[in-house]
């Protein structure tokens, strides 16, 4: 069976977890601090704050940005439901904007029509690891006094051309970026999340709120030579990451460059091999973006039924997933009113599928996926990449 995704974990991670377990400090301690530092330095951010997952990271990002009950946040429906849910945790209203069909990312041209006097923030998603058009989003944000929050759940290791150089997602280019370390993403700590920002005051707020808004953290009281009584100045949460997770995360970060390079190689292979399937829509990478290929998403030819193609692949021992969900179609979001139609979001959910892509995928596995997809799409004989070359 070829799964759709697989984390890369080995002895180094197991050894790191063991080290943390035997250290005597197993949550939000020295391993978390070291992981935050390594993460900040990887993405080039002044501050990185570790939390329990990306959904809680998004919640903190929105709350600290001042998003309150009744406010509006411009975002996409075409995302994992956590994006919209985090807005709703604040009592705010997600205002769904459609995506660009080529990139599967929020269409900047549709934002300004959605802005009202209650809009507080733009929550953009680097969907499947492909950076959104941050240049335009940040410009729109500035012009309208809106905070730009990046849902970078899938985008660790992705890059964007910025001021003449390639920069990692998470510097951040908006005001704050939120990452996920769930096993379905490119690196993992089991569960985990990270917020990166340039703003020291926001970072302090994240640290306060992630641990019950406790004025003096237990780690500080532990090291003090005087008795300290902490206070709780505001409503906080338990969004902590454990030191066991952070120790694993430090090892995962070391592997990240190699993982991303391998994913890019596999994506390039797919692009070459799938070109022979007539009518198949291939993922597009703009000249100013480099994806980490967290997912490889193809649009099926119009003649194909999504479920039938997925079943045919499953029968051939190959796992796939349908296109990214649309939150507005879920009963959980039935109270969220649509202010514009979302035809591209819906089409992407209904006519795209995600193919297996993970570093351990072999060339033979990939050939099997390509052949099975070609068969399922009604292509009898797929030219091999060699014979696909134009004949003189
Ligand atoms: C996975 C994902 C999340 C949620 O991340 P968790 O760490 O599972 O909370 C949020 N947004 C997007 C776009 C995601 O893909």
Q: What domains are there in the chain, each with its CATH number?
A: 11-254 (3.40.640.10), 256-379 (3.90.1150.10)
Pocket probe mutation, ligand 1, options 182, 185, 349, max atoms within 8 Å of Cβ: 182
Count of beta carbons in the 10 Å neighbourhood of residue 168: 25
Q: Is the CB of 150 under 6 A from ligand 1?
A: no
The pLDDT of residue 392 is: 41
For residue 211, report the phi and psi dihedrals to the nearest 5 degrees.
Answer: -130, 65
* Residue whose token pair is 């070609």: 374
Contact 224, 9 (CB under 8 A): no
Cβ proximity of 340 and 97 under 8 Å: yes
- For residue 294, the ligand 1 atom closest to its alpha carbon is 15
111 C-alpha to ligand 1 centroid (Å): 22
Q: Is 129 in the pocket of ligand 1 (CB under 6 A)?
A: no
Return phi, psi of residue 326, to 5°. -110, 115
d(CA 13, CA 176): 28
Q: Structure pTM?
A: 0.96
The residue annotated as part of the active site, out of 78, 120, 185, 210, is 185
Residue 126 CA: nearest ligand 1 atom is: 13
What per-residue confidence (pLDDT) applies to 380? Answer: 55
Residue 156 CB–ligand 1 contact under 6 Å: no
Q: Is the CB of 55 under 6 A from ligand 1?
A: yes
86 ligand 1 Cβ < 6 A: no
Regarding the beta carbon of 263 and ligand 1, being less than 6 Å apart is answered: no
The finding on whether 193 has its CB within 6 A of some atom of ligand 1 is yes
State the pairing for strand pair 193-197/176-180.
antiparallel
**What is the number of the ligand 1 atom nearest to the C-alpha of 192?**
7
Judged by phi (left if over 0) then psi (alpha if -120 to 50, else beta), residue 154 lies in alpha
For residue 319, count other CB atoms closer than 10 A to its CB: 16
Residue 230: how many other CB atoms lie within 10 Å: 14
Closest Cα to atom 1, ligand 1: which residue? 153
Q: Output the CA torsion sign for 236, 242, 248, 250.
A: positive
Atom of ligand 1 nearest to the CA of 184: 1
pLDDT (tens place) for every residue of the chain, 392 residues total: 999 999 999 999 999 999 999 999 999 999 999 999 999 999 999 999 999 999 999 999 999 999 999 999 999 999 999 999 999 999 999 999 999 999 999 999 999 999 999 999 999 999 999 999 999 999 999 999 999 999 999 999 999 999 999 999 999 999 999 999 999 999 999 999 999 999 999 999 999 999 999 999 888 888 899 999 999 999 999 999 999 999 999 999 999 999 999 999 999 999 999 998 999 999 999 999 999 999 999 999 999 999 999 999 999 999 999 999 999 999 999 999 999 999 999 999 999 999 999 999 999 999 999 999 999 998 755 655 554 444 44
Residue 79 is predicted with a pLDDT of: 98
Cβ-Cβ contacts under 8 Å for 252 (sequence gap 6 or more): 8, 9, 13, 181, 187, 188, 189
Q: Indicate if 185 belongs to the active site.
A: yes
Give yes or no for a contact between 282 and 274, defined as CB atoms under 8 angstroms apart.
yes
**Helix (H) or strand (E) segment spanning residue 88:** helix 82-89
Closest CA to 60 of 128, 151, 138: 151
Rounded to the nearest angstrom, the distance between the alpha carbon of 53 and the centre of ligand 1 is 8
Instruction: Report yes or no: 320 and 295 within 8 Å, Cβ to Cβ.
Output: no
Q: DSSP string covering 9-77, please?
A: --HHHHHHHHHHHHTT--BSSHHHHHHHHHHHHHHT-SEEEEES-HHHHHHHHHHHTT--TT-EEEEES
Query: Of how many residues is the chain composed?
Result: 392
């Amino acid at each position: 069976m070829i799964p759709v995704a697989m984390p890369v974990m080995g002895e180094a991670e197991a050894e790191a977890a063991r080290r943390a377990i035997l250290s005597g400090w197993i949550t939000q301690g020295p391993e978390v601090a070291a992981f935050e530092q390594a993460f900040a330095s990887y993405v080039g951010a002044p501050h990185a704050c570790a939390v329990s997952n990306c959904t809680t990271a998004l919640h903190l990002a929105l709350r600290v940005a001042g998003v309150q009950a009744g406010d509006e946040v411009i975002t996409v429906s075409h995302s994992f439901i956590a994006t919209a849910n985090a807005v709703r945790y604040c009592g705010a209203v997600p205002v769904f904007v459609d995506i660009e069909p080529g990139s599967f990312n929020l269409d900047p041209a549709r934002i300004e029509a959605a802005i009202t006097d209650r809009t507080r923030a733009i929550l953009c998603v680097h969907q499947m690891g492909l950076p959104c058009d941050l240049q335009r989003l940040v410009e729109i944000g500035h012009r309208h006094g809106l905070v730009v929050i990046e849902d970078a759940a899938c985008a660790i290791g992705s890059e964007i051309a910025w001021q003449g150089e390639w920069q990692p997602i998470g510097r951040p280019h908006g005001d704050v970026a939120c990452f996920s370390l769930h096993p379905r993403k490119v690196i993992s700590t089991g569960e985990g999340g990270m917020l990166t920002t340039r703003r020291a005051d926001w970072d302090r707020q994240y640290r306060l709120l992630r641990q019950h808004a406790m004025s003096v953290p237990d780690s500080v009281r532990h090291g003090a030579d005087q008795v300290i009584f902490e206070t709780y100045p505001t409503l906080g949460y338990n969004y902590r990451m454990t030191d066991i997770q952070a120790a694993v995360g430090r090892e995962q970060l070391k592997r990240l460059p190699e993982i991303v390079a391998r994913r890019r190689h596999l994506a390039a292979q797919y692009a070459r091999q799938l070109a022979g399937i007539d009518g198949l829509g291939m993922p597009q990478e703009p000249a100013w973006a480099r994806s980490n290929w967290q997912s490889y998403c193809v649009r099926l030819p119009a003649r194909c039924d999504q479920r039938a193609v997925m079943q045919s692949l499953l029968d051939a021992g190959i796992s796939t997933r349908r296109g990214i969900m649309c939150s507005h179609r879920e009963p959980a979001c039935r109270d969220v009113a649509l202010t514009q139609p979302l035809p591209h979001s819906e089409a992407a959910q209904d006519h795209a599928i995600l193919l297996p892509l993970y570093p351990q995928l072999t060339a033979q596995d990939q050939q099997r996926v390509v052949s099975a997809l070609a068969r399922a799409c009604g292509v009898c004989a797929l030219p091999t990449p060699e014979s696909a070359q134009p004949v003189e």
